[in-house]
Structure 1
């Protein structure tokens, strides 16, 4: 059986990494003002979204349609795929997983859709695990289960300069956003069972960075892990956190690098400029 893994653009996989792993990526869409763009280098970029948010231009996002998802599946079938594992961001935050399920029902080969219950590189790590399992000869069901298990064991933490963007997208309540602004704090949040949940509040961005490093180290425990650091319009602080984690967790990385890059346009639209995230996934 020739199994191919599909994910979506919010998984934040660098193009060369996805290509090397044989993972196919379906873009979500970003609406900036009246313009609808696919997420990616040739459409909606993090820089463009950050600028629009700073200039108070309306920004929203939308899932890929079931038809677009099915078109991807059938293109892969034409290329030789006999089974597909489709790994996507949390169904609590997007209808992308639902689109995958609807497309799977019409596909000409078996498709298993996986709700990672994660966002960002947490979804990406799960997709890479499924692809690795498939290359190793795993069955369709087993490759999908590998993705689910890795996503379940992954921890994602982040801080934002303001909760306003999450409030606009319905990811946190208005009362929580108002409280955060009134206290002038840096909210630390986490992804828990597919949702954004409040974790702690700290007074400064410096303390937020230090706390993210501590949380990542706690999440790693004694296991070998992969680590990703993401940001929106905050490259220097993200790089500092990545360097800190590379030193602090060197014994857990087994020579692997800490990934560090800008978050995609879709997720960036919901967290706003200044966000920094860290994701810890068991290797």
Structure 2
């Protein structure tokens, strides 16, 4: 079996299973705690989770155990990988990257753990770009560069119905300053310097979503861009947003609609919608 570079990420990357399988990306599951139940996040039913969240059931998250990374790395090595590029959610949001580094020290092949400084499909696009270069036979340095280029140039724009979920989960970051605003004021957020940060506050959901699209169009500029629209129980808001972006982005290279990981959903809350803009490779 010829050696290759394996690419591994975590479930906050929001990668659809089919896409991860297509590019041979292994996904280590972050842990979700719902009431007294704890398990890998993909084992929870999304619709039921949203019901429980709205009913006030405590929902928290935790990083994978280092053992989960160890076995993912071991499997890659057993499959003939000569090295591993492991790219993960911002270390300022989660200890996931630290657990990955702990496991990397116990593996017989080189493991390069990258802190993406972001999450969501900004992380997902980085993993895909790395995997594409690896599949084409690219050397380790090129695989790492492909991932880093993507997560450094990608932008997350996020609409949430309420900041309460981020506050409860301790992931509110610089958006803390927006707490206490009227219920009719809807926050628009981004990820900056590895944590959630405010972009704007807009009166009313309809205006806020329109502003989200405007921000995306401005951010995209005139270059070729890949776009992912992510939802968490958003009630078809993402369909309208996706259609608007296709109309208004003349250099749209690739677009997709994805479900937010339940881990991200636990922090942004029901009704959240995100737009990821990533300059095309």
TM-score, normalised by the number of residues in structure 1 = 0.94
Aligned counterpart for 2:269 among listed residues 263, 268, 272: 272
Q: Shift of the alpha carbon at 1:190? A: 0.6
* Distance 1:18-1:175 versus aligned 2 partners, 3 A rule: closer
Counterpart contact for 1:49–1:268, Cα < 8 Å: no
- Give the conservation status (yes or no) of the 8 Å contact 1:167–1:177: no
1:64 alignment partner, SS class: coil
Which structure 1 segments of 5+ residues have no match?
A: none
Q: Quote the residue 1:259 is aligned against.
A: 256
Residue 223 of structure 1: aligned partner: 223
Q: Deviations over 1:3-56 (max 9, x none)?
A: 01001111011111111111111111101000012111xx12432321111010
- Runs of 4+ aligned residues of structure 1 deviating over 4 Å after TM superposition are none
User: Residue 89 of structure 1 contacts residue 118 of structure 1 at CA under 8 Å; is this kept in 2?
Assistant: yes
Structure 1 Cα separation of the partners of residues 189 and 176 of structure 2: 16
Q: What residue number does 2:8 align with?
A: 6
Distance 1:177 1:46 in 2: 28
Q: Residue in 2 aligned with 1:34?
A: 36
In structure 1, distance between residues paired with 2:242 and 2:177: 29
Gaps of 5+ in 2: none
- Displacement of 1:74 after TM fit? 0.2
Q: How many residues align?
A: 277
Inter-partner Cα distance in structure 1 for 2:74 and 2:88: 18
Query: Secondary structure at 2:251's aligned position in 1?
Result: helix
1:14-53 superposed matches below 5 A:
14-40=16-42, 43-53=43-53
2:130 and 2:20 mapped to 1: Cα distance? 12
The CA RMSD over aligned residues, in Å, is 1.5
Asked whether the 8 Å contact 1:46–1:268 carries over to 2, the reply is: no
Shift of residue 183, structure 1, vs aligned partner: 5.4
Q: Which residue of 1 aligns with 2:112?
A: 112
When structure 1 is superposed on structure 2, of 214-223 and 107-116 the one drifting more is: 214-223
Matches of 1:235 and 1:130, distance apart in 2: 33
Conservation of the 8 A alpha-carbon contact between 1:46 and 1:262: no
SS in 1 for 2:114: strand
1:181-201 CA deviation, whole Å, 9 max, x = no partner? x35300011111211001110
Asked whether the 8 Å contact 1:230–1:277 carries over to 2, the reply is yes
1:235 Cα offset (Å): 3.3
Whether the 8 Å contact between 2:77 and 2:109 is mirrored in structure 1 is: yes
TM-score scaled by length of structure 2 = 0.94
Could you say which residue in structure 2 is the equivalent of 1:145? 145
SS at structure 2 position matched to 1:72: helix
Q: Which moved more, 1:228-237 or 1:5-14?
A: 228-237
Report deviation, 1:176: 3.4
Provide the C-alpha distance between the structure 2 equivalents of 1:39 and 1:175, rounded to a whole number of angstroms.
26
Q: Deviation per CA, 1:63-109: give whole Å up to 9, x if none.
A: 11111101110011111111110011111111111111111111110
Residue 175 (structure 1) shift: 5.8
Matches within 5 A, 1:14-93: 14-40=16-42, 43-93=43-93
Per-residue deviation, 1:152: 0.5
- What is the CA–CA distance in structure 1 between the aligned matches of 2:178 and 2:48, rounded to whole Å? 24
Aligned counterpart, 2:180: 179
| Alignment partners' CA distance in 2, 1:91 and 1:46 | 25
Distance in 2 separating the partners of 1:145 and 1:105? 22
In 2, distance between residues paired with 1:76 and 1:48? 34
